[in-house]
Amino acid sequence: MTAAEETAREDAPWGEVTPEAARKLLVAAVAAFAERGYHATTTRDIAGRAGMSPAALYIHYKTKEELLHRISRIGHDKALEILQAADASGGAPSERLAEAVRSFVRWHAGRHDTARVVQYELDALSDEHRAEIVGLRRRSDEVVRDILDEGVETGEFDVPDVPGTTVAVLSLCIDVARWFNVAGRRTPDEVGALYADLVLRMVRAQK
């Protein structure tokens, strides 16, 4: 499977968003925000991509910011779900950390447009919505930090600064959304495997 084919498989419809018109507007907004940035995108741009009139957008979303918040909330919920599933998969800390990185990177590569919007447009949210999303990000941080803490306690990891290493691991994974190219030579799975190996080397996982 090529990178483009695997990415297409990952970009499944936003089934949790209903009705269909609201989903189409959200998909259009993701594409526009990823391409032009939140502030450079107008509601007319979004409606045009969805094949609707600008007035139709306001039936489903009161503001452009509300649309960004919906995208960000769904994306951060998914990110947290991925990390929690990896932590619950069982095994030694090194196995769970590798699975967390592998699956987290795979999502950021396979859904790179969505991930770019979710991860890099946080400052465009209102104070209330930003606080909500920051809370979700902290929960994601906690999952990785707890795995690292356990690995240190068992002697499997040599990590003098767990909080700092947590930030480094998540930043490494998230940055994939910025550079991943479907025309590149690596698939999302291959990038995930590479990064999992790099992170285990970084924490000096014992064989």
Query: 18 pLDDT band (50/70/90 cuts)?
Result: confident
Decide: pTM greater than 0.75.
yes
Check: CB of residue 91 under 8 Å from CB of residue 160: no
Query: In the chain, what is the straight-line distance between the N-terminal and C-terminal CA atoms, in Å?
Result: 31
Residue ranges and CATH numbers for the domains of the chain are 1-61 (1.10.10.60), 64-207 (1.10.357.10)
18 vs 169, higher pLDDT: 169
At 173, list the tokens. 């994974």
Residue 95 Cα distances to 55, 135, 157, 174, 197, angstroms: 50, 26, 12, 20, 11
pLDDT tens digits for 81-103? 999 999 999 899 999 999 999 99
pLDDT tens digits for 19-75? 999 999 999 999 999 999 999 999 999 999 999 998 989 999 999 999 999 999 999
pLDDT tens digits for 175-197? 999 999 888 889 999 999 999 99
User: For residue 63, which phi and psi values (nearest 5 degrees)?
Assistant: -145, 165
- The torsion region of residue 84 among left (phi > 0), alpha (psi -120 to 50) and beta comes to alpha
Check: CB of residue 83 under 8 Å from CB of residue 104: yes
CB atoms inside a 10 Å sphere around CB 72 = 23
Instruction: Give the span between the Cα atoms of 76 and 167, in whole angstroms.
Output: 16
The whole-number pLDDT of residue 15 equals 78
Residue 154 Cα distances to 57, 101, 150, 160, angstroms: 53, 20, 6, 14
The whole-number pLDDT of residue 162 equals 97
pLDDT tens digits for 117-153? 999 999 999 999 999 999 999 999 999 999 999 999 9
Judged against a pLDDT cut of 70, whether residue 9 lies above it is answered with no
